[in-house]
Chains A and B, each alone.
Chain A
Amino acid sequence: MNKTFDRYASIAFLAIGILFIAESRKITASAYGSQVGPNIFPMGLGIVLIVLSLRLLYETFKYHHSEKQRSSLDYKRFGIIFAAAFLYCYFLEDIGYVLSTFLFLLIGFQTMQKGKIWSSIIISGGFSFGVYYLFVEVLKGSLPGLPTWLGLL
């Protein structure tokens, strides 16, 4: 078990519990026709969460000396893919589904493993066009199309 993480996590959950209690005090305590307002449930849960996170904090002090076995994590690959995913989600509505998905997949494939650029292009193109066509044309769903400034549509 990771002592440091558990300690931070218990403090974070403690804060969440306090936040929910503090915020649920601002909710009206009465509901028409009932003595039990919409504030009771979250407030009660907040209290339970505080108790549990204190318990976890207490437990972390009892952990046996945790041996540090830091396996090197692949932060670089994760960073690139996560950043790409973030940009993908952020700009999805602006540049449209097909283009953003194509770019994200291309970056993703190449980050996972360099090389075979043509098969990457074919698969990402196939996926983005395929999903868009199936969903929008066949199933009549709605996805942001190609950006209008391309002047294609």
Chain B
Amino acid sequence: MGTLDFLMNGFSVALQWHNLLFAFFGVLIGTAVGVLPGIGPMSGVALLIPITSSLTGGLGAEDAAVSSIILLAGVYYGAMYGGSTTSILLNTPGESSSVMTTLDGYQMAKQGRAGAALAISAIGSFVAGLFSLIGLILLAQPLSEVALRFGPPEYFSLMLLGLAAVSGLAGKSMTKALIMTVFGLLLATVGMDNVSGVARFTYDIPVLYNGLEFLTISVGLFALGEVFKTILHREANEGTIAKITRIIPTKQDMKDSAGPIARGSLLGFFLGVLPGAGATLASFFAYVMEKRLSKNPEKFGKGAIEGVASPETANNAAAGGAMIPLLTLGIPGSGTTAILMGAFIMFNIQPGPLLFDEHPQVAWGLIASMFAGNVMLLILNLPLVRIFAKIIATPPKYLIPLIVAFSVFGVYAVQVTTFDLMLLLACGVVGYFLATNDFPLPPLVLGLVLGPMIENNMRRALTASNGDFMIFLQKPVSAVFLMIGLLWLVIPLVLKWKGKKVDVTESM
């Protein structure tokens, strides 16, 4: 069967009425998650995992997985659409990937062009979504065929590369990011060892034999951590919400933003495919690039529509691009995709090169559903944007306790132990302290998800080589991966070091 046949099969899965419904709720919740400042795509996806797993309880194993993943992925890319709304109307980004949108978006809103800004970001996001989907379709098969030839040493090195890339780019301090990665990997070793069946770090506590549940930790770190921060710092939406007047952009607006949308899609997509870069960096680079390319860069920051179109397009393209390493290699490149991967594993489906062979239903159904989801998002975000803008006004008084209650429900519904609830609260506190002190959390979750796989591949490779660690360097592909991973960590250090030197000489 060719790619097209698979895609058609995918559509036959995605267009089943219940899957359409799942996609619709996914993108609807995603947009709301994007609009609400207290809750980001990571906590949104994590919170919904238990709910989807109980919603799909009546379906067969594979059908349940397809429907759940369709919903969760919808939350992910839906949040990218919704994130722009608060940036434009309120000057507060709903997500970190929408920070750049505030620069020109809020200015446009002040000039009474909020509707045009919202429309352009919805249109840009739609184009980017389609673009990255086509990229995904074209790259999925060839990439997974390459990945199928990888053995344990190559996989081990590739995963190390992924971790290195995410740690190298996350947060302000690389030391802290690496500490979080290693800590995540260590947490993953608690419990029964998959290979030998030996219990590690369990101290005869029965609940620990299954290991620390990834879901509990990620809901705690992201959702509760964020909630605690909101409570402690008394964060509230201040300022007035700009009025939306005319939604349809003018011809001039469309003409001005056509270029930025095309370039933003391309740039965002490639940055998304790279592990570690992700939506936030993509929107940043896209904005900077447009400013450089523009004939009158002084317009930027004063309500240029290009400044809204390019970052919003790029962050959506990056979200689509990030699905590629997840689906074809089984390696998530960002915090949200790590959580999505956790969801796949919970449904007993291993993302990676075999996904397209073993579960074509899931892989192609998901891809096809993303087409449908993007169309729904365009409809939700163009005519209905006024309704979503009202969500911003949800009083935190109700929102904050409800998020806590939802987290407790979600964790208890899946784990059914008080131990996990206590772990949830502890992770919330730890997550708050780590995040407010610039310890990035996504590397920790990534380490937790990838830990067992890294260890298995390492030990399989070492078993084959009789314990000789040189096997990772003797296999050329593996050596190249390790080399790139090392460069990813070293280059920023060198740049920083050089930058410091320049500073010193200048001050002298």
Which A residues contact B (CB, under 8 angstroms)?
A: 1-2, 5-6, 9, 13, 16, 20, 23-24, 27-28, 31-38, 40-42, 45-46, 48-49, 52-53, 55-56, 59, 71, 73-75, 77-78, 81-82, 85-86, 88-90, 92-93, 97, 101, 104-105, 108-109, 112-113, 123, 127-128, 131, 135, 139-143
Residue-wise interface mask of B (414-457) relative to A, using a CB-CB cutoff of 8 A (1 in contact, 0 not):
00101001101100010001100111000000000000000100
Chain A's nearest CB lies how many Å from the CB of B368?
Answer: 26
Contact yes or no, B179 A113, CB < 8 A: no
Q: CA–CA, A9 to B398, complex, Å?
A: 33
CB within 8 Å: A-B pair count: 166
Chain A's nearest CB lies how many Å from the CB of B122?
Answer: 31
Chain B residues near A113 (CB-CB < 8 A): 395, 397
Contact yes or no, B463 A33, CB < 8 A: yes
Interface size class of B (residues with CB under 8 A): 35 or more
- B25-33, B193-201, B354-362: which lies at the interface: B193-201
Chain B residues near A6 (CB-CB < 8 A): 176, 437
17 A-B contact pairs sorted by A residue (CB < 8 Å): A9-B439, A34-B195, A38-B193, A38-B200, A52-B182, A71-B233, A81-B404, A82-B228, A89-B421, A92-B418, A97-B409, A109-B401, A112-B396, A131-B409, A135-B409, A142-B416, A143-B412
- Quick one: closest B residue to A123, CB to CB? B398
Given contacts A52-B179, A112-B401, contact A36 B463 (CB under 8 A): yes
**B405 at the binding interface (Cβ < 8 Å):** yes
Chain A's nearest CB lies how many Å from the CB of B126?
Answer: 33
Known: A16-B186, A141-B413. 4 other contacts (CB 8 A): A34-B195, A42-B186, A89-B425, A90-B421
Contact yes or no, B175 A59, CB < 8 A: yes
Q: CA–CA, A41 to B193, complex, Å?
A: 11
Chain A residues near B408 (CB-CB < 8 A): 85, 88-89, 92, 101
Instruction: Give the residue among B186, B396, B404, B424 with the most A Cβ atoms within 10 A.
Output: B186
Contact of A35 among B201, B398, B402, B462 (CB under 8 A): B462
Q: How would you classify the secondary structure of chain A's contact residues: helix, strand, loop or mixed?
A: helix
**B392 at the binding interface (Cβ < 8 Å):** no
Contact yes or no, B466 A35, CB < 8 A: yes
Contact yes or no, A77 B231, CB < 8 A: yes
Instruction: Give the residue among B55, B176, B395, B434 with the most A Cβ atoms within 10 A.
Output: B176
Contact yes or no, A73 B404, CB < 8 A: no
Please provide the chain B residues from 193 to 231 with a CB less than 8 Å away from any CB of chain A in the complex. 193, 195-196, 198, 200-201, 228, 231
Instruction: Give the residue among A42, A127, A139, A142 with the most B Cβ atoms within 10 A.
Output: A42
Given contacts A31-B195, A31-B196, A141-B413, contact A13 B179 (CB under 8 A): yes
Contact yes or no, B179 A109, CB < 8 A: no
Contact of B54 among A86, A88, A135 (CB under 8 A): A135
Contact yes or no, A42 B189, CB < 8 A: yes
Which B residues contact A (CB, under 8 angstroms)?
A: 54-55, 57, 172-173, 175-176, 178-179, 182-183, 185-186, 189, 193, 195-196, 198, 200-201, 228, 231-234, 395-398, 400-402, 404-405, 408-409, 412-413, 416, 418, 421-422, 424-425, 429, 433-434, 437-439, 455, 458-459, 462-463, 466-467
Contact yes or no, A104 B401, CB < 8 A: yes
Chain B residues near A23 (CB-CB < 8 A): 201
Given contacts A56-B175, A56-B176, A127-B402, contact A141 B182 (CB under 8 A): no
Contact yes or no, A53 B179, CB < 8 A: yes
Given contacts A48-B182, A89-B424, A92-B418, contact A74 B232 (CB under 8 A): yes
Q: CA–CA, A49 to B396, complex, Å?
A: 39
Chain B's nearest CB lies how many Å from the CB of A27?
Answer: 6
Contact yes or no, A35 B463, CB < 8 A: yes
Contact yes or no, B413 A45, CB < 8 A: no
Chain B residues near A49 (CB-CB < 8 A): 179, 182-183, 186
Chain B residues near A141 (CB-CB < 8 A): 54, 57, 413
Contact of A108 among B55, B201, B400, B437 (CB under 8 A): B400
Chain B residues near A77 (CB-CB < 8 A): 231-232
Chain B's nearest CB lies how many Å from the CB of A137?
Answer: 12
Q: CA–CA, A85 to B418, complex, Å?
A: 12
Contact yes or no, B462 A101, CB < 8 A: no
Chain A residues near B398 (CB-CB < 8 A): 109, 112, 123
Chain B residues near A56 (CB-CB < 8 A): 173, 175-176, 179
Q: CA–CA, A45 to B451, complex, Å?
A: 11
Contact of A85 among B172, B233, B425 (CB under 8 A): B425
Contact of A78 among B228, B405, B459, B467 (CB under 8 A): B228
Contact yes or no, A81 B198, CB < 8 A: no
Q: CA–CA, A88 to B404, complex, Å?
A: 10
Chain A residues near B183 (CB-CB < 8 A): 13, 16, 49
Q: CA–CA, A86 to B224, complex, Å?
A: 13
Given contacts A53-B179, A74-B233, contact A108 B404 (CB under 8 A): yes
